[in-house]
A and B are shown apart, each in its own frame.
Chain A
Amino acid sequence: MAPILEVDRVTMRFGGLVANEDVSFRVEPGQVYAVIGPNGAGKTTLFNAITGVYQPSAGEVRFEGSVIRKRVGPRLALRVLGTAVVSAIASSLAVNILSLWKAVVVANYAYGEPFAWGKALSCAGPVLREAGAAWTWLPALIGALVGGGAAFVLWLRRRRTPDVVQRAGIARTFQNIRLFGELSVLENVLVGMHARLRTGFLENLLRLPSFFGERHRSRDRAMELLRFVGLESRAPDAARNLPYGLQRRLEIARALASSPRLLLLDEPAAGMNPTETVALTGLIRQIRERGVTVLLIEHHMRVVMGVSDRICVLNFGKRIAEGTPEQIRSDPACIEAYLGKEELG
């Protein structure tokens, strides 16, 4: 079976600091795959590299066989060309606006008399010709180059931003909970659904029929997800008012709202009590049963060993072991670097 996610020799450098070095692993569809390692091993950095928060300094991340990026295509062409044309017109106009105005409007309009549009507009041409290439076409050219160039550079720079990655089917949660605190629990889930919803600005502004249809469907689905994580009774509350454990669950529901094929959970059990941890293990299993592949960072060995199909161990940014839970449990390097300390401490 083709892997759903391939992390291929990813290196992350920040100035002189190397957070990940040459990390590789593959996640098969339907797996629960765990990344473990001591604090500062570079696990979250790796997550950020996968989700597009950071760009890998070297290596690549492939999702379902290809790197997630905005495609070169008609949209790009339209965008660059459009910006170029608009900025060309704008720059040329900005340079000539006063003389154009005088020739077209002021010269052809006598107060109180009708305005001959055709005649007036025909006066624009001579003005531009008189200004000469240096003042008419040069600004337009510079405008087109700068505008089009900037549009292209920005596109290039934003080719693999988190929203692009998320829309491709990878959703995530955060280690330090990042819910939208002032929004209600339900709205948090609806935000997670953003990319799956279609209504545009005008439909929302004017509340066209399509708005109501989608609102109905999206709410049903959001409530279903809240029921799935056990939060349906808290739907109208502000997210910030939820207790910690429930906030973690809400993060999961929010991530699931986008119907991802791969879900990244960043220490979902952090700060949970043993009962909650057990419930969480069950929840992760249920998520897998829904057909979502899970990539997990976790410190709680009970959770990791309980749900994972395979485990990758990082230390000081490097992969030191990979395999099934049993293999990891018996791997001497892991025991020395991580497990031993953890279990003794």
Chain B
Amino acid sequence: MKNRTLPLLASLALASVALAQTGTLKIVSSLPRTGSANAQTTSMVNGIKMAIDEVGGQIDGMKIEYEDMDDASPQRGNWDPAVEAQNANRAVRDESVIGYIGTYNSGASKISMPILNKAGLVMISPGNTYPGLTKPGMGEANEPRIYRPSGKINYFRVVPTDDLQGRVAAEWAKELGCTSVYLLDDRELYGKGIADVFEKRAKELGLRVLGREGIDPKASNYKALANKIKASGADLVYYGGTTQTNAGQIAKDLRSAGVTSKYMVPDGCFEEAFILAAGAENLEGRTFITFGGLPANQLQGRGAKFREAYIARYRVEPEAYALYGYEAGRVLLDAVKRAKAKTREGVLEAVRSTRDFEGALGTWSFDENGDTTSRIMSGQSVEGGKFKFVKVLGQ
């Protein structure tokens, strides 16, 4: 048995190497596809696919292949360090892979960044907002150096980070006339990080912070907490969390406990599912959502075209994160196109030199840390059961 399969497998392995040489370039994405984040990641994957189709699935005669990897495991229902590491290693081993799009959770990137960095494989995240991944001094003392064992930058992101969003959120709260705020977070990397920034900025702006609570995102309701918030008399409740960590339930419980304050959430809630989960009547006129970018229907030029194409293809309005999937895919493909040698190093070099990229979000570049220079933030409210664009923030 063994003797017979050995040559067979060996020839298969050879064949795959040969295939790579005759011109297949592979892009992989590693996003949590099992479990609760599935909705956002599906729209991201849709965005990536659209970016690939836009170039006709090939560049300079080389076929572009795409694999949608899952970094969640069924027994966890969420991203799993083991699976993320496996995905990264698999991508590194597969010679034809020239770009890695991911991850969705910043925690997962902490695992895969060093692995990909050592291999010199470019990584573009459409979803990570934890500042420490790229910005010195924003996270732990050893960040972000530890993610770059080779000393070179290979990680880029097309989303603005939490430190920007939390800041503009607090400023917006002040503009809305709030004087006191009650802070909640979901005790996750994203939610807690953004609430921390909000808290710091709110204090600088002279908003009174009446309380800060970390909630259990799996609890069945937050009525007891809502009672407490009601007694505190805060006129804004800020929740650092996402639809998946029960932002909708909080809105409901606040209303049923008779809390009349405003309710502000970050872009983890900027998706249709948030309104569906919370019930439009619980959000109407009192809910404010910040987003690190512009909503699809406010986009101009390329962005507007993307929206039309997305609706035509998937028959739904693109979610906020679809755009980032699309943008990540496009900036990667653009780099592939520009790269002289279609190798990992070539592509990495091309991505790094991305300047004044004509993206769906306007024109932007990658800065020296690998962050997008796009600083556009927007504020939304909920009216008539729909998100309504209110204004551009942080300008």
**Which A residues are closer than 8 A to B by beta carbons?**
111-112
Which residues of A sit under 8 angstroms from B141, Cβ to Cβ?
A: 111-112
Which partner residue on chain A sits nearest B142 by CB separation? A111
Question: Which of chain A's residues have a CB closer than 8 A to the CB of B142?
Answer: 111
Q: How many B residues touch A, CB cutoff 8 Å?
A: 2
- The docked-state distance in angstroms from the alpha carbon of A112 to that of B141 is 9
- CB neighbours (8 Å) of A111 from chain B are 141-142
Q: How far is the CB of B338 from chain A (nearest CB, A)?
A: 38
Majority secondary structure of chain A interface residues (helix, strand, loop or mixed): loop
Tell me, in angstroms, the Cα distance from A111 to B141 when the chains sit together.
6
Q: List 3 A-B contacts (CB under 8 A).
A: A111-B141, A111-B142, A112-B141
A-contact 0/1 string along B135-150, CB 8 Å cutoff: 0000001100000000
CA distance A111 to B143 in the complex (A): 11
Which B-chain residue is minimally distant from A111 (CB atoms)?
Answer: B141
A115 to chain B, nearest CB (A): 13
Name the interface residues of B156-178: CB closer than 8 Å to any CB of A: none
A111 to B145: give the CA distance in the assembly, Å: 13
Give the CA-CA distance A112 to B145 in the complex, in Å: 12
A111–B136 Cα gap in the complex (Å)? Answer: 13
Q: How far does the Cβ of A88 sit from chain B's closest Cβ, in whole Å?
A: 30
Shortest Cβ distance from B140 into A: residue: A111
Q: How far is the CB of A84 from chain B (nearest CB, A)?
A: 35
Residue in A closest to B141 when the chains form the complex, CB atoms: A111
In whole angstroms, how far apart are the Cα atoms of A112 and B140 in the complex?
12
A112 to B142, CA, bound (A): 9
Name the distance in Å between A111's Cβ and chain B's nearest Cβ.
3
- 3 closest residue pairs by CB, A with B: A111-B141, A111-B142, A112-B141
CB contact list, B30-80 vs A, under 8 A = none
- Residues 80-107 of B contacting A (Cβ, < 8 Å): none
B232 → chain A closest CB, angstroms: 25
For the complex formed, measure the closest distance between the CB of B387 and the CB atoms of chain A, giving whole angstroms: 41
Closest to A109 in B: B141
Q: Could you tell me the distance between the alpha carbons of A249 and B142 in the complex, rounded to whole angstroms?
A: 69
B92 CB, min distance to chain A CBs, angstroms? 29
Chain B residues lying within 8 Å of A112, measured Cβ to Cβ, are 141
A306 to chain B, nearest CB (A): 64
A49 vs B141: C-alpha distance when bound (angstroms): 66
For chain B, residues 111 to 154, give those with C-beta under 8 angstroms from any C-beta of chain A.
141-142
Task: State the Cβ distance, B135 to closest chain A Cβ, in Å.
Answer: 16
| Distance in Å: Cβ of A98 to nearest Cβ of chain B | 15
Closest chain B CB from A339 CB (angstroms): 66
- Complex alpha-carbon distance, A335 and B355, angstroms: 111
Q: How far is the CB of A108 from chain B (nearest CB, A)?
A: 14
Q: How many angstroms from the CA of A310 to the CA of B28 in the assembled complex?
A: 88
Q: What is the distance, in angstroms, from A259's C-beta to the closest C-beta of chain B?
A: 51
